[in-house]
Amino acid sequence: MQRKYSTYIVWACLLIAGLLTACNAKRTADAGKAQPAYTCPMHPQVVQHGPGTCPICGMDLVPVNAAGNKHELMLNETQVALANITTMKIGAGSLDNYKRLNATLAVDPQRTVYVSSRVPGRIEQLYVKETGVPVHKGQPLYKIYSEQLAALQQEYLVATAQTAAFPDNARFKQIEAAARQKLLLYDVADRTLNLIKQQQKADPYITYTAAVNGVVAALPVSEGQYVAAGSTVMQLEDYDALWVQADVYPAELNQVSAGKKVKVVVNGWENQPLDMQVDFIAPALQTGTQLARVRGTIPNVNHQWQPGMQANVYLPAVTRSNVLTLPADAVIRDQKGALVWLKKGRNRFIPRMVKTGTENAGQVEITAGLQAGDAVVVTGAYLLYSEYVLKKDANPFAQHAHVH
């Protein structure tokens, strides 16, 4: 009787455990059917279950993915406006074929001036004490104390005194002219010599001025330092025009020649393309590379560009017609290929892998992946890419097979 009673107890416990398990499963299923996640259009890091307002900006939260397809984005009108998303229907047209070369801006050595000391002496004063400072022609640069200049001035004063005492003596006039010319060759200014002659007093401190306009690029001396004749005191560079040095493979050298017109686009100034003439083609490849170098000069208005900045040089080729083209900003690229965004219906956006062909400064040829009439996002493509990665937790490149 006791065994039978125990058996009833065991079965009752099993029945209760089964009921509890079923209830927990129902609650889990109900939790899985909870309201979708909501996020802020301006602050996508804010995510919560159910509607509400953003704790940062106070905007109404929107569903993370209102569309059913996990490979597309559904945005509301506010998000489209904030992201400045615009589209265009792709169609056939012509495309100027350009070969793009990587280039760098550099200082034109012909516009570099080395200010060197004409005589040995001590730098008494520097009127420009740091690099990067613009100077103008005639502006004082430094004052030097030189015993040699003082001695030459004394010789000049003796010659002028002799000429004054014997104004009809041609020999004394020649000696005075020679003494003055010697000081002029040491870059002592005419006005300084006139003042010395007028005051009949030598000045061992001579101030030297800038011979050209420029920017101080190097200043290897300091006040109180003794310098030898020929020592560099200052280096001035003129940035009114810059070299553009482009790298080109030997097989492509047949596309460029001295005197040929090319187009230059400085990175960050894509809206300011410049025409440039090729001035020089290096006769040998660069050391350690398989690249040749071509060079030209562009004007640098208002010194808006600095040496070392990157640029692109476009070599013109044959113009192609009846090709599908898009603005360069519409195409997103990574190591997996190229991708654009298509607009389907009302504010529904789908990523599409494409193949690209010829490019120029602003247009890209689409050889596969699109058809004429497709509505393609031309501004805001990178914002859509970021939104997709954030909301879908996936890379749109990884969701699509390569285009054939």
| Domain map (residue ranges) of the chain | 19-61, 73-96+318-392, 99-109+239-317, 113-236
pLDDT score, position 67: 40
pLDDT score, position 2: 47
d(CA 246, CA 266): 12
| CATH 3.90.1660.10 assigned to 73-96+318-392 | no
The DSSP element (H or E) to which 63 belongs, if any, is: strand 62-63
- The residue count of the chain comes to 404
Task: Count Cβ atoms below 10 Å from residue 95 Cβ, excluding itself.
Answer: 19
CB half-sphere exposure, 165, CA atoms < 13 A: 8
- Residue by residue, pLDDT tens for the chain (404 residues) are 444 445 545 445 554 555 455 555 445 444 444 456 777 766 666 777 778 888 887 777 776 654 445 677 888 888 888 888 898 888 887 776 677 889 999 999 999 999 999 899 999 999 999 998 999 999 999 999 999 988 998 999 999 999 888 988 889 889 999 999 989 888 888 888 888 888 888 888 989 999 889 999 999 999 999 999 999 999 999 999 999 999 988 877 888 888 989 899 999 898 888 999 999 999 888 888 888 899 999 999 888 999 999 999 988 766 677 888 888 888 888 777 888 889 888 888 889 898 888 776 677 888 888 888 899 998 888 888 887 777 766 777 765 545 55
d(CA 165, CA 167): 6
Q: Which CATH architecture has domain 99-109+239-317?
A: Beta Barrel (2.40)
Radius of gyration of the chain (CA): 39
SS3 (DSSP) at 387: helix
113-236 CATH fold: OB fold (Dihydrolipoamide Acetyltransferase, E2P) (2.40.50)
Decide: pTM greater than 0.85.
no
Enumerate long-range contacts of 8-11, CB under 8 Å, 24 or more apart. none
Helices (H), 229-279: none
* Token pair belonging to 127: 């009127």
pLDDT score, position 84: 86
d(CA 334, CA 207): 59
pLDDT score, position 333: 82
pLDDT score, position 54: 83
CB 152, CB 182: distance < 8 Å: yes
